[in-house]
Amino acid sequence: MDGIAKALVFDGLVKVVAFKTTDLVNEAIGLHGLSPLAAEALGKVLSVAAYMSNELKGDKEKLSVQVTNKGSLGSIIVAADAGAKVRGYVEHKDATLPPLGNGKQDLFKGIGSEGFITVIKDLGLKDPYVGRTELVRGNLEEDFAWYFTRSEGAPTALALEVMIGEDGKCASAGGVLVQPMPGCPEHVLVIVEDIVSQFAHIGEVYKEKSPSDVLQDYFGHFKIEYFPVVTPVYRCKCSREQMSNAVISLGRADSVNLLMERGEIEVLCHFCGRKYVFTKQDVIDIWRKYDHKV
Ligand SMILES: [Zn+2]
C-alpha cells in the first residue's frame, strides 16, 4: 500500500521522508495509457509532487510542478493539492526509447539535461511562490534534489525510483528524501550520507517494505520522532463548469465553426482523460452566460 512516512531524526536535526507511490503510478498508467518511458518520468514527478503537497500547511494550499525539457517526452505537468492529492500528464505519453534493463528507462534521453523545473505554490498569499532551477541530469532525482537545495534553500539528498515491469505496469515506485536542518553538525551529516548511499535501489526495497518500515530499518535506532503516515492519491478536480472555459477560450467564431463541422464540441481533460461533450444548446448557453457576466 502507498504511503508517505515522515520523521525527524537526531533530535530534529534531520528530516527524513519515505514515500511509496506504486499504486499512484499505476493509476496514472491506467488513466493515460503511458509508455514505460512516460510512466517512469511522470511517475517520478507525481511522487515528488505528492511529497511536496504533503508538506503544505493549509488545506487550501496547492502547487504545480512543470518539467520543461528538450527530450522526446516533452513537458511533464503535475498539479497537487494539500494532503498529497496529485494529478498530472506528460506531453508525449507514447514516447519510447530502448530500455536500460531491470525495469529502468532511458530518462537521460527522454528528458535530457536541457530544461527547467518550475514550481508554483499558491499559499493563499497575494502572489504565488515561484521557484525555478535548471535540470542537471535529466534523471529527475538529482534534478529535484538540486531544485530543493538551490531554490528552496534546503540541502537535499533524494533517492527516487519507478520500476516498470514487462507488462507495462509499475512494479514498484517511491523514494526517500533527507534534509539536514540548518546547523546540523558535521558528524551527523557523515552518518546521514552513509545511510543515503544505501538507497540506490529504493524501488527494490519497496517491493518488500512499507515507508514506515524504511524509516524504522534505517533510522529507528537513532532518536526519532514519527509523524502520521499519509496516503497519496490521484485526484483530478475537473468539472463541466471549468471545462466550459475551454469553449470560451476558443472564441465565439471558432466555437461556432467547430459546432457546424462536428455537431458538438468535445473537450478532454489532460489530467484525467475525462471527456466533456458540449452540444449546440450547451454552447449557446455557455456564451449567453458569458455575455451576462461581462
Ligand atoms: Zn480531469
Three cell numbers, residue 289: 452566460
**Ligand 1 center to residue 42 CA distance, Å?**
16
The helix (run of H) or strand (run of E) holding residue 146 is helix 141-150
Residue type, 42: L
**Ligand 1 center to residue 288 CA distance, Å?**
25
**Ligand 1 center to residue 188 CA distance, Å?**
45
**Ligand 1 center to residue 185 CA distance, Å?**
46
Q: Within this chain, do residues 69 and 193 fall inside the same structural domain, yes or no?
A: yes
pLDDT number for residue 99: 86
Tell me the mean pLDDT in the region 249-259.
93
Q: Within this chain, do residues 63 and 7 fall inside the same structural domain, yes or no?
A: yes
Q: Over the chain, what is the mean pLDDT?
A: 95
Q: Within this chain, do residues 96 and 132 fall inside the same structural domain, yes or no?
A: yes
**Ligand 1 center to residue 275 CA distance, Å?**
8
**Ligand 1 center to residue 23 CA distance, Å?**
18
Tell me the mean pLDDT in the region 160-167.
95
pLDDT number for residue 143: 97
Q: Angle at which helices 36-54 and 22-32 pack, to 10 degrees? A: 130
- Between strands 233-234 and 157-164, the pairing is unpaired
Q: What is the CATH number of the domain that holds 193?
A: 3.55.30.10
Place 104 in a pLDDT band, splitting at 50, 70 and 90. Answer: confident
Place 113 in a pLDDT band, splitting at 50, 70 and 90. Answer: confident
Q: Within this chain, do residues 190 and 157 fall inside the same structural domain, yes or no?
A: yes
pLDDT number for residue 112: 86
Q: Within this chain, do residues 126 and 153 fall inside the same structural domain, yes or no?
A: yes
Is pLDDT at 147 greater than 90 in this prediction? yes
**Ligand 1 center to residue 240 CA distance, Å?**
10
**Ligand 1 center to residue 44 CA distance, Å?**
20
**Ligand 1 center to residue 65 CA distance, Å?**
17
- Between strands 233-234 and 275-279, the pairing is unpaired
Residue 113 to residue 99: CA distance in whole angstroms: 18
Tell me the mean pLDDT in the region 137-160.
96
- Quick check: 214 and 3 in contact, CB under 8 A? no
Q: Within this chain, do residues 76 and 198 fall inside the same structural domain, yes or no?
A: yes
Is pLDDT at 103 greater than 80 in this prediction? no
Tell me the mean pLDDT in the region 144-170.
96
* Distinct helix (H) and strand (E) counts, the chain: 10, 13
Q: What is the pTM of this model?
A: 0.94
- Between strands 85-90 and 233-234, the pairing is parallel
Q: Within this chain, do residues 11 and 67 fall inside the same structural domain, yes or no?
A: yes
Q: Within this chain, do residues 270 and 147 fall inside the same structural domain, yes or no?
A: no
**Ligand 1 center to residue 60 CA distance, Å?**
19
Q: 189, 205, 234 — which closes off a domain? A: 234
Q: Within this chain, do residues 164 and 219 fall inside the same structural domain, yes or no?
A: yes
230 lies in which domain range?
A: 3-234
pLDDT number for residue 100: 87
The C-alpha angle 90, 94, 98, rounded to 5 degrees, equals 110
**Ligand 1 center to residue 239 CA distance, Å?**
7
Chain segment 49-68, per-residue pLDDT in tens:
999 999 999 999 999 999 99
Q: How many domains does the chain have?
A: 2
Residue 228 to residue 85: CA distance in whole angstroms: 16
Tell me the mean pLDDT in the region 29-42.
97
Residue 225 to residue 11: CA distance in whole angstroms: 8
DSSP string, 69-130: ESSTT--EEEEEETTTEEEEEES-TT------BTTB--HHHHT-SSEEEEEEEE-SSSS-EE
pLDDT number for residue 81: 97
Q: Helix (H, G, I), strand (E, B), or coil: what is residue 104?
A: strand
Q: Within this chain, do residues 74 and 50 fall inside the same structural domain, yes or no?
A: yes
> How far is residue 85 from each of residues 35, 41, 45, 48, 264, measured CA to CA in Å?
23, 18, 13, 12, 32
Q: Within this chain, do residues 258 and 196 fall inside the same structural domain, yes or no?
A: no
pLDDT number for residue 293: 81
pLDDT number for residue 146: 97
The helix (run of H) or strand (run of E) holding residue 44 is helix 36-54
Chain segment 255-284, per-residue pLDDT in tens:
999 999 999 999 999 999 999 999 999 999
**Ligand 1 center to residue 237 CA distance, Å?**
6
Residue type, 133: T
Q: Percent of the chain beyond pLDDT 90? A: 95
- Between strands 224-226 and 233-234, the pairing is unpaired
**184 CA to centre of own chain:** 29
Q: What is the CATH number of the domain that holds 265?
A: 3.90.1280.10
Residue with cell 506528460: 90
**Ligand 1 center to residue 136 CA distance, Å?**
31
Chain segment 214-224, per-residue pLDDT in tens:
999 999 999 99
Chain segment 87-101, per-residue pLDDT in tens:
999 999 999 999 888
> How far is residue 55 from each of residues 26, 88, 196, 203, measured CA to CA in Å?
23, 18, 21, 22
> How far is residue 135 from each of residues 12, 76, 117, 140, 197, measured CA to CA in Å?
30, 13, 7, 8, 22
Q: Within this chain, do residues 183 and 285 fall inside the same structural domain, yes or no?
A: no
Q: Helix (H, G, I), strand (E, B), or coil: what is residue 38?
A: helix
**Ligand 1 center to residue 76 CA distance, Å?**
16
pLDDT number for residue 268: 93
Is pLDDT at 249 greater than 80 in this prediction? yes
**Ligand 1 center to residue 276 CA distance, Å?**
10
Is pLDDT at 7 greater than 80 in this prediction? yes
> How far is residue 149 from each of residues 112, 133, 140, 156, 231, measured CA to CA in Å?
20, 10, 14, 6, 26
